[in-house]
Structure 1
């Protein structure tokens, strides 16, 4: 690494430590030319592929902005939102992929948001899944009622009524862990898909 003081093109690592709960490594370096010490941080990049095809780095701040809008006027602490954004990032990083579709970010947000606040979940899902009618809301509410209550639930399954056929680990996990009663509301939703 180039020394920021004398621009010498080499430095040696004096110390390395994990920071930010192991998601980053802080390295203390020393320049053999001028003897100055400096710190660097190493982070594994996680890029999001937008619908347009452009890529951008994952941003917890963007997750927070979207979730804050859904939680507006709801009894949800800022700390809970920060924790939700952290869970979303951990879920995405756990896939082991360096690039993730934007759609998968939305899927990763839905499960912890449902556990946090069902009304906020419904608001977010209505935008994310592009609800166009009252029936879309009724169907999602029927799914929420069929699932265990968020207060008693330890599951991170998210009800999915969309026509997604992605092969990503997040989508596969959601589809394989869905447990929904086969009542008339479910039959109505299934017939729509």
Structure 2
């Protein structure tokens, strides 16, 4: 690395450590010629995620859009901002770990709906009504019936697990 003081090409690393947020490496360097000390930062250059919209246009991924949608869906519900932030973080992490640099709005919406269904049913329905563009009461009823069936299956499975745990303890 070139010395910012004298321009000499040969410097050595004196100290190296991660930054507080662990997003970069901070290096203290010293010029071999003039002994000038300076700091550099090394960080991973990330490729921007691209969202493919319904109309086929592309847009850079913006986690704030997901966050705004979640906040609207969770309005006046007892859901903490931390829970909503965790949903956004998990979705972004999932997208980044998928090794795909393009993701469709449909994929993002499906991930949001799956996470919301586990957190709050009302927020889920609110989000689904906008995301799936409900245009009639029948569409709401259909989604509510689907949720009701899924909840019955979950309760049934929980009851079976509880009974088998109880039976195992009796032995």
TM-score by length of 1: 0.62
Matched residue pairs, number?
149
Q: Closer, same or farther in 2 for the Cα pair 1:19/1:63, shift >3 Å?
A: farther
Tell me if structure 2 keeps the 8 A contact 1:92–1:108: no
Q: Following TM superposition, by how much is the alpha carbon of 1:152 offset from its aligned partner in structure 2, in angstroms?
A: 6.2
Q: 2:116 & 2:64 partners in 1: Cα distance?
A: 16
Tell me if structure 2 keeps the 8 A contact 1:10–1:31: no
Q: Closer, same or farther in 2 for the Cα pair 1:59/1:49, shift >3 Å?
A: closer
Q: Following TM superposition, by how much is the alpha carbon of 1:102 offset from its aligned partner in structure 2, in angstroms?
A: 2.2
Larger helix proportion of the pair: 2
Q: Closer, same or farther in 2 for the Cα pair 1:130/1:27, shift >3 Å?
A: same
Tell me if structure 2 keeps the 8 A contact 1:17–1:26: yes
Q: 1:114 & 1:134 partners in 2: Cα distance?
A: 20
State the match for 1:106 in structure 2.
109
Q: Following TM superposition, by how much is the alpha carbon of 1:44 offset from its aligned partner in structure 2, in angstroms?
A: 3.2
> Residue 83 in 1 paired to residue 86 in 2?
yes
RMSD: 3.5
State the match for 2:44 in structure 1.
42
State the match for 2:59 in structure 1.
55
> Residue 138 in 1 paired to residue 141 in 2?
yes
Task: Write out aligned runs for 1:3-14 (5 A).
Answer: none
State the match for 1:26 in structure 2.
24
SS at match of 2:151: coil
Q: Closer, same or farther in 2 for the Cα pair 1:17/1:49, shift >3 Å?
A: same
Q: Closer, same or farther in 2 for the Cα pair 1:32/1:101, shift >3 Å?
A: farther
Q: Following TM superposition, by how much is the alpha carbon of 1:30 offset from its aligned partner in structure 2, in angstroms?
A: 4.5
TM-score by length of 2: 0.69
Larger radius of gyration: 2
SS at match of 1:55: strand
Q: Following TM superposition, by how much is the alpha carbon of 1:107 offset from its aligned partner in structure 2, in angstroms?
A: 1.4
Q: Closer, same or farther in 2 for the Cα pair 1:29/1:131, shift >3 Å?
A: same
SS at match of 2:88: helix
Unpaired runs of 5+ residues, structure 2, are: 158-171
State the match for 1:15 in structure 2.
16
